[in-house]
Amino acid sequence: MSTSQFLLSYSLLIIAIIALLTYWITRKFVLRKMNRTILKAEHNYQQQIANLQMQLSGKVNMLESMVEKLRLSNQELNRLNDIRSKFMSIAAHDLRQPLSAIQGFTSVLMMDRNTTGNAGNSDQAALNNILKATDNMNMLMADLIDISRIESGQFSMDKQPFSFNALLTDVVALQNVSAQKKGIYLQTCEYPTDITITADRFRISQVINNLLGNAIKFSPQGGRIESRFYVDNGKLTFLLSDNGPGVIHSEKDKIFQKFHQSDVDRTAKKQGWGLGLSIAQEIIQAHGGEIGVESAGLGQGSTFWFTIPL
């Protein structure tokens, strides 16, 4: 081996040894520093987890406390609601007896005066007002009883087959007296065949009476109300259209809520309590049907409708 080759080999050996020493020193100190950094980061991470767990535990305890308070409040609300329903039912039943007595005595006085011929105009008007007031109170009592039954889950339907054509004829004839006093024309579109449905006749007549009564109440003097129905796809659809003040879009769902009254006609508003449509909705839904209203807007009249399966 020549001297130059020996020196080259020796130089390569020295370089290799220096490289190994550098790698070993770098690895030793860098890895140690990295390990310290990792351990510190892990410690901080664990500490953050512990803090979050403590915070979460506090939030869970707070949430459990709030849930318990909500449960107790709900129990109290149910208790008070039950008391209110019972009070409404008891009050309605107890008030009916004196109202019936007032109504009966007033009718006797009116008959007495008509028989003897001593009825003065002022006395007759006063007696008529008493009768109207007792009629209104009796209707309110009936609505309150229905609401209490609905809320207590005792609002049941007595479903029997009956002629819907005949029912509609009876209701229109009854409401026609009130319509004539306002000069309102009631038109019934006759259905070509007699339709028999299985439902609670009294409750369905209650719904139609309510819708027709509202239409008469809100329609202007000399107005027009049209009732019609048709059968399609195994269900009956009833529609009642009027040329009254109409219903704004935002009130289409609200008017079926308990005690809700429209601000469209404040004079008519004073004549009701906002229970009739809510009860009507419960009756129709109890028959597996739907109820609603359509209106083009204020001054455009409205069409109330309901559907019930045959």
Domain assignment present for residue 183? The answer is yes
**CATH number where 286 lies:** 3.30.565.10
Q: What's the alpha-carbon Rg for the chain, to the nearest Å? A: 41
| Domain count of the fold of the chain | 2
What's the confidence (pLDDT) of residue 95?
A: 66
Domain assignment present for residue 7? The answer is no
Per-residue pLDDT of the chain (310 residues; tens, 9 = 90+): 567 666 667 677 777 777 777 777 776 777 777 777 888 888 888 888 888 888 888 888 888 888 888 888 888 777 766 666 666 666 666 666 666 777 676 777 777 666 665 555 666 676 677 766 766 676 667 777 777 777 767 778 889 999 999 999 999 988 888 888 888 888 888 888 889 999 999 899 999 999 998 889 888 888 899 999 999 888 999 999 998 888 887 777 788 877 766 655 544 444 556 788 888 998 999 999 999 998 877 778 899 999 999 8
Give the range of the structural domain holding residue 210, as residue numbers without chain letter: 160-309
Q: Domain end: 132, 151, 170, which one?
A: 151
Residues 128 and 170 in one domain: no
What's the confidence (pLDDT) of residue 17?
A: 79
The full length of the chain comes to: 310
Domain assignment present for residue 139? The answer is yes
Domain assignment present for residue 69? The answer is no
State how far the Cα of 83 lies from the Cα of 152, in Å rounded to an integer: 11
Q: Domain end: 100, 117, 151, which one?
A: 151
Nearest 5°: CA angle at 12, between 10 and 16?
115
Q: Are strands 160-163 and 235-242 parallel, antiparallel or unpaired?
A: unpaired
**101: buried, middle or exposed (CB in 10 Å: 19+, 13-18, 0-12)?**
exposed
